[in-house]
Amino acid sequence: MHKLTLTYFDFPGGRGETARLAMVLGGIEFEDYRFPFEQFGKVREQTPLKQVPTLNVDGRQVTQNNAINRFVGKMAGLYPEDDYQALLCDEIMDAIETVTHKIVDTFGLEGEKQKLAREALVKGPLTQYLEWTQARLEEQGGEYFVENRLTLADLKTFVWIRSLNSGHLDHVPSSLVEDIAPKLNAHMQRVAQTPAISEYYSR
Ligand SMILES: N[C@@H](CCC(=O)N[C@@H](CS)C(=O)NCC(=O)O)C(=O)O
């Protein structure tokens, strides 16, 4: 049994939330070290790449959220053992990571520049990745992304879709998912109703 501490911002989303959910679902004991945004400057100085999330495993700090997701996902039984199914699970997680980078690229922009960049994002990559992700889900029967069961791919998509629906990104309509990929919204709601997940968010 490893001693685990996950370090990430104190909000229910972003690059740290999939690992939190996986550990909660898997009943894996961990310290959930959450810090307010104002403390990021101080926290990042203690991390290897000045970024979060990190997972401290028995005293060693590890970076890269999808690597962390896979590590805890394997322990939680939420990552396929079959290599091909694992590939399909990774594909979804890495695609969401790619589109997340595109969104983050617009964070530093302001005013008209940000508006234009976000509108281009909505028309381009966000629409493309939402349509593609929905198509992947439909190919697998519409319930789950791989193995007809809940895996990391579902958790990572759940976190992404919740974030797009939240309306916190200016110039990205909160109706975007419903307009472009309503089946991902239905999937998000199904995952939210998983008893351990609804219990976690009601805390
Ligand atoms: N490749 C890293 C990216 C981590 C990342 O960019 N984290 C953001 C917060 S969600 C961060 O720390 N940004 C500050 C920076 O890059 O300077 C991962 O997969 O975890």
Please state the three-class secondary structure of 109-131 as a single string.
CCHHHHHHHHHHHHHHHHHHHHH
Note the pLDDT of residue 1: 87
Q: What would the pLDDT profile of 142-176 be if each residue is shown by its tens digit?
A: 999 999 999 999 999 999 999 999 999 999 999 99
Residue 176 has a pLDDT of 98
Give a yes or no: residue 90 inside a domain.
yes
Mean pLDDT of the chain: 97
Q: Are residues 51 and 90 in the same domain?
A: no
152 and 106 inside one domain: yes
7 pocket-lining for ligand 1 (C-beta < 6 Å) = no
Residues 6 or more apart whose CB falls under 8 angstroms from that of 150 comprise: 25, 78, 144, 191, 194
Does any domain span residue 134? yes
Name the closest-CA residue to atom 2, ligand 1.
64
Residues 90 and 71 in one domain: no
93 and 52 together in one domain: no
Which CATH number do you get for residue 160? 1.20.1050.10
Q: Is 177 exposed, middle or buried (0-12, 13-18, 19+ CB in 10 A)?
A: buried
Does residue 96 lie in a domain region?
A: yes
Dihedral (C-alpha) 150, 156, 159, 162: value to the nearest 10 degrees? -80
Nearest-angstrom CA–CA distance, 31 and 16: 13
* pLDDT < 70 positions in the chain: none
Name the residue of 7, 9, 11, 15 to mutate for ligand 1: max ligand atoms within 8 A of Cβ.
Answer: 15
Could you tell me which of 71, 72, 62 has the C-alpha nearest to residue 29?
72
Q: Domain ends where: 61, 76, 91?
A: 76
Q: What's the rounded Cα separation, in Å, for the pair 180 and 177?
A: 5
Atom of ligand 1 nearest to the CA of 47: 12
pLDDT, residue 146, reads: 98
- 108/187 same-domain check: yes
Mutational test site, ligand 1, from 17, 52, 63, max ligand atoms within 8 Å of CB: 52
- Please tell me the distance from the alpha carbon of residue 99 to that of residue 82, in angstroms, as a whole number: 26
Query: Rounded to the nearest whole angstrom, what is the distance from the C-alpha of residue 142 to the centroid of ligand 1?
Result: 31
How many A from CA of 52 to the centre of ligand 1? 5
- Residue 198 tokens, joined: 């609804």
Q: How many domains does the chain have?
A: 2
Which residue has its alpha carbon closest to ligand 1 atom 17?
A: 51
Supply the pLDDT for residue 203.
87
Q: Are residues 68 and 168 in the same domain?
A: no
The CATH number of whichever domain residue 13 belongs to comes to 3.40.30.10
Domain limits for position 60: 4-76
Specify the pLDDT at position 77: 98
Report the atom number in ligand 1 closest to the C-alpha of 51.
Answer: 12
Contact 117, 106 (CB under 8 A): yes
* Residue 67 and residue 89 in one domain: no
Whether residue 65 is found in the same domain as residue 102? no
Q: How far apart (Å, rounded) are the C-alpha atoms in residues 31 and 28? A: 10
Give the Cα separation of 124 and 121 in Å (integer): 5
Q: Cα-flanking dihedrals φ and ψ of residue 144, to 5°? A: -135, 165
Helix (H) or strand (E) run with residue 34 in it:
strand 31-35
Residues 90 and 184 in one domain: yes
Identify the DSSP state of 149.
B
DSSP code of residue 139: H
